[in-house]
């Protein structure tokens, strides 16, 4: 006897907004704790990231705290559009240290749907001037230190944390 199970998850813009509120809380906590960017700037990054997510263009967000040129902490948020099986977590666990020469790098990775037409349609609504990056986001100098999942219905972000 054999069984076949198939499942699909549906989500709405409201589900994406709910999950992105958790991401926003994280980036604001990071800004407040490490003081590498202002809270207002963190809100601008969160706003833009949500725009990309709601349009279906966001694949991953990588946040990395540097002390000068040395990586100190990082968090990667990977989009999961089939997140119905994820248990959702509360925001937090991102009280990053104050370092002597802080720099917070924020890199967005996009889906294939983010083409020239999509770029042009979003350009006037973005608060941040995004530029291409070839930076290494493997965090090979850091140690994986935990995970959190943020989800609503079928849409979610899976956060991987890295530290020293």
- Residue % of the chain over a pLDDT of 70: 91
User: Would 2 be classed as within a structural domain?
Assistant: no
Domain count of the fold of the chain = 1
CA distance linking residue 133 with residue 143, whole number of Å: 23
User: Would 4 be classed as within a structural domain?
Assistant: no
User: Would 116 be classed as within a structural domain?
Assistant: yes
User: Would 32 be classed as within a structural domain?
Assistant: yes
Range of the domain at 46: 13-163
CA distance linking residue 123 with residue 30, whole number of Å: 26
CA distance linking residue 73 with residue 70, whole number of Å: 9
Lowest mean per-residue pLDDT among 32-46, 79-93, 106-120, 125-139: 79-93
User: Would 95 be classed as within a structural domain?
Assistant: yes
User: Would 47 be classed as within a structural domain?
Assistant: yes
User: Would 68 be classed as within a structural domain?
Assistant: yes
pTM of the model: 0.89
pLDDT, tens digit, 9 for 90 and up, residues 35-88: 999 999 999 999 999 999 999 999 999 999 999 999 999 999 999 987 666 677
User: Would 118 be classed as within a structural domain?
Assistant: yes
**The CATH number of the domain where 129 resides is what?**
3.30.900.10
């Amino acid at each position: 006897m054999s069984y076949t199970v198939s499942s699909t998850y549906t989500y709405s813009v409201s589900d994406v907004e709910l999950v992105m509120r958790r991401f926003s809380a994280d980036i604001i906590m990071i800004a407040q704790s490490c003081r590498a960017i202002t809270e207002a700037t963190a809100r601008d990054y969160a706003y833009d990231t949500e725009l990309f997510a709601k349009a279906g263009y966001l694949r991953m967000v990588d946040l990395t705290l540097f002390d000068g040129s040395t990586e100190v902490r990082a968090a990667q948020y990977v989009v999961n559009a089939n997140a119905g099986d994820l248990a959702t977590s509360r925001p937090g666990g991102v009280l990053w240290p104050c370092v002597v020469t802080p720099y917070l790098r924020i890199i967005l990775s996009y889906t294939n749907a983010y083409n020239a037409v999509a770029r042009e349609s979003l350009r006037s609504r973005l608060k941040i001037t995004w530029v291409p990056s070839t930076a290494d986001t493997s965090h090979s100098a850091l140690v994986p230190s935990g995970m959190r999942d943020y989800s609503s219905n079928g849409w979610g972000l899976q956060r991987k944390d890295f530290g020293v």
